[in-house]
């Protein structure tokens, strides 16, 4: 019997949940990178240092709401997660956490996060965070993911929200510069995810999820990754073009973008079987370095 079939089998042996299982429900590594993007949004929103109390409350509020959204994703996807090897060891997929406890945990985290933002930051940030939460936990997970191969381009808006949430936490206004930061993550999401989708396409096919490589083939997905990579590069140049960021940012982004294009060229040309998964892991470093470059440029205004 294959590992996959075993993973999908409910053995009836349910161990007690541990705190690590609840921690995992919140997708902490993904949320950590989102928080870095939100923090950069907070710092870039003002020429002076942002109020530290506000930064702490905003970070905590966005973290709780994003982890709550991720826990809802685990809850709604528990059957699907059982069908794919990558996700089959998750706490709900394995029955280590009963669904009612996950539902309570996700609801409490989300409500606490949104309330904290409303009371200690501002209602605008709370409402925008609620929209991102619903966009990911409900619209993407429940509907788009199963309905269209464009699920992640549309659903990507929710994941791209953190720099805007950080920005509005400080300024209480939606401004064009903040939207530029959102567009960077929005354009980056397809190369980020479709690279993984190519690598894991057999699992998605067996589970019946209409991801792009399944519906339109691997070659078409590779081309889309290549085109979105160029769109991402163009978007990362916008902070310099608009004057929000300076030469430090541009000089850091040039080599980073050359590497990004090189790695995604390998995906497009299918130079090796490992190219997509290498591009997926590089995409995470790329988005972190890009936001680090924005921060450094803002804090080192030498040019
Ligand atoms: C709709 C948009 C997105 C989709 C569909 C997506 C999809 C995925 C998937 C399927 C994984 C693998 C997770 C796993 O194996 O547990 C992953 C990993 C990851 N994603 Fe995304 N992602 C999206 C947006 C984002 C955003 C906006 C960020 C951060 C700004 C991000 C950061 C990460 C990180 C850091 C990981 C690695 C997690 C680990 O080490 O386990 N993702 N993503
Ligand atoms: C408030 C706010 C900022 C909300 C955003 C919340 C959030 C954690 C978004 C994560 C994006 C992501 C990892 C999508 C993959 O879901 P998937 O179900 O396709 O992946 P999976 O198969 O690994 O579960």
- Asked if 168 and 36 sit in the same domain, the reply is yes
| Alpha carbon distance 199, 206 (integer Å) | 14
152 CA distance to ligand 2 centroid (A)?
Answer: 10
The DSSP call for residue 212 is: H
Rounded to two decimals, the pTM is 0.95
Give the residue from 68, 69, 52 showing the smallest Cα distance to 169: 52
Give the residue from 40, 87, 78 showing the smallest Cα distance to 62: 40
Residue where a domain stops, chosen among 174, 208, 238 = 174
Average pLDDT over residues 162-183: 98
What's the confidence (pLDDT) of residue 15?
65
Q: How many domains in the chain?
A: 2
- Asked if 166 and 213 sit in the same domain, the reply is no
Q: Residue 191: inside a domain, yes or no?
A: yes
Asked if the model's pLDDT at residue 35 lies above 70, the reply is yes
Taking a C-beta distance cutoff of 8 angstroms, is the pair 76, 102 a contact? Answer: no
Task: Indicate the top mutation candidate among 32, 73, 195 to test ligand 2's pocket, ranked by most ligand atoms within 8 A of CB.
Answer: 73
| Alpha carbon distance 302, 247 (integer Å) | 9
Ligand 1, atom nearest to 185 Cα: 27
3 state DSSP class of 43: helix
Range of the domain at 111: 16-174
Task: Indicate the top mutation candidate among 84, 136, 209 to test ligand 2's pocket, ranked by most ligand atoms within 8 A of CB.
Answer: 136
User: pLDDT band at 2, cuts 50/70/90?
Assistant: very low
Give the residue from 254, 299, 300, 289 showing the smallest Cα distance to 36: 289
pLDDT digits over 197-218, tens only?
999 999 999 999 999 999 999 9
- Asked if 195 and 151 sit in the same domain, the reply is no
Average pLDDT over residues 159-185: 98
Q: Is the ipTM of this complex over 0.90?
A: yes
For residue 100, give Cα distances in angstroms to 18, 23, 35, 103. 15, 16, 28, 5
What's the confidence (pLDDT) of residue 3?
40
- Asked if 187 and 114 sit in the same domain, the reply is no
Q: Residue 11: inside a domain, yes or no?
A: no
- Asked if 49 and 167 sit in the same domain, the reply is yes
Average pLDDT over residues 229-234: 98
């Amino acid at each position: 019997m294959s590992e996959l079939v075993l993973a999908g089998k409910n053995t009836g042996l349910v161990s007690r949940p541990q705190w690590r299982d609840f921690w995992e429900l919140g997708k902490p590594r993904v949320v950590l990178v989102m928080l870095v993007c939100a923090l950069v949004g907070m710092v870039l929103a003002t020429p002076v240092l942002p109020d530290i109390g506000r930064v702490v409350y905003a970070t905590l509020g966005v973290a709780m709401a994003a982890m709550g959204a991720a826990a809802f994703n685990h809850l709604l996807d528990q059957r699907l997660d059982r069908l794919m090897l990558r996700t089959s060891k998750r706490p709900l997929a394995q029955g280590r956490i009963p669904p009612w406890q996950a539902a309570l945990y996700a609801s409490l985290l989300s409500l606490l996060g949104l309330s904290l933002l409303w009371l200690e930051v501002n209602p605008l940030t709370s409402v925008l965070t609620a929209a991102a939460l619903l966009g990911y936990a409900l619209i993407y997970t429940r509907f788009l993911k199963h309905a269209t191969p464009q699920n992640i381009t549309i659903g990507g808006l929710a994941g791209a929200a953190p720099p805007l949430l950080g920005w509005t936490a400080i300024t209480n206004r939606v401004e064009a510069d903040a939207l530029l930061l959102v567009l960077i993550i929005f354009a980056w999401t397809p190369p980020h995810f479709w690279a993984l989708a190519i690598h894991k396409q057999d699992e998605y096919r067996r589970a019946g999820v209409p991801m792009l490589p399944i519906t339109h083939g691997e070659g078409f997905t590779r081309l889309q990754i290549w085109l979105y990579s160029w769109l991402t590069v163009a978007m990362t140049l916008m902070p310099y073009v608009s004057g929000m960021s300076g030469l430090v940012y541009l000089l850091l982004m040039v080599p980073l973008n050359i590497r990004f294009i090189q790695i995604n060229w390998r995906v497009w040309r299918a130079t090796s079987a490992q190219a997509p998964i290498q591009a997926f892991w590089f995409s995470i470093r790329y988005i972190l370095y890009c936001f680090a470059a924005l921060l450094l440029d803002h804090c080192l205004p030498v040019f």
